[in-house]
């Protein structure tokens, strides 16, 4: 399927209203709150969290965001992303796997069903949870479908 076929059906707004797409965008909204993490571990570390397995605080366009671990774990993020793709494009995310088993997604494709102001949050989660690489307007993701 060509990129244009993905976008050019004139039906974008109604597809953004699909349940799975809304749930996915809500997840991105709720998975973070403004401000840095103030947990004991971060305080004791002087807010240095680079050596954590999963970081607690992220900087996005000059603003700090704290990740809410208790709300959405890895499996939940995986499920919601997958379902949203499927609902929006009416095809399985698995179709985007390359021969090496990497998921290769055009950034534009992902932006179609991700609200603009939530894209940075998605990138944080993709990198943190699924070891995603962002390059040349492409996401290459290893862990999302395993
Ligand atoms: Zn913390």
Instruction: Report d(CA 144, CA 130) in Å as an integer.
Output: 6
Sheet with 57-60, edge to edge strand ranges: 32-34, 63-67, 57-60
Tell me how far the alpha carbon of residue 40 lies from the centroid of ligand 1, in angstroms: 7
| Alpha helices (H) along the chain | 3-7, 12-16, 19-30, 40-44, 74-89, 107-112, 119-130
| Tens-place pLDDT, residues 45-66 | 999 999 999 999 999 989 999 9
C-alpha 74 – ligand 1 centre gap (Å): 18
- Collapse the DSSP code of 94 into the 3-class scheme (helix H, G, I; strand E, B; otherwise coil) and give the result: helix
The whole-model pTM stands at 0.88
Torsion of CA 25, 40, 49, 52, to 10 degrees: -80
Ligand 1 centroid to Cα of residue 41, in Å, is: 6
Digit-coded pLDDT (tens) for 99-141: 998 999 999 999 999 999 999 999 999 999 999 999 999 999 9
Please write the tens of the pLDDT for every residue from 65-100. 999 988 888 999 999 999 999 999 999 999 999 999
* Separation of CA 36 and ligand 1 centre (Å): 8
Contact 28, 122 (CB under 8 A): yes
- Confidence label for 5 from pLDDT (cuts 50, 70 and 90): low
pLDDT higher than threshold 70 for residue 7: no
Per-domain boundaries in the chain: 1-30+72-146, 32-70
Ligand 1 geometric centre to CA of 130 (Å) = 20
Q: How many A from CA of 122 to the centre of ligand 1?
A: 20
Q: What is the pLDDT of residue 8?
A: 54
């Amino acid at each position: 399927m060509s990129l244009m076929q993905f976008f050019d059906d004139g039906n974008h707004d109604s597809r953004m209203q699909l349940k799975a797409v809304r749930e996915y965008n809500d997840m991105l909204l709720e998975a973070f709150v403004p401000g840095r993490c103030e947990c004991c571990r971060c305080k004791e570390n002087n807010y240095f969290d680079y050596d954590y397995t999963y970081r607690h605080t992220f900087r996005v366009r000059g603003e700090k965001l704290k990740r809410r671990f208790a709300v959405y774990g890895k499996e939940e993020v995986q499920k919601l992303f997958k379902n949203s793709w499927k609902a929006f494009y009416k095809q399985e995310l698995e179709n985007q796997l390359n021969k090496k088993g990497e998921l290769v997604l055009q950034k534009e494709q992902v932006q179609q069903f991700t609200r603009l102001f939530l894209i940075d949050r998605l990138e944080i989660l993709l990198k943190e949870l699924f070891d995603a690489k962002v390059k040349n307007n492409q996401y290459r993701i290893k862990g999302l479908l395993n």
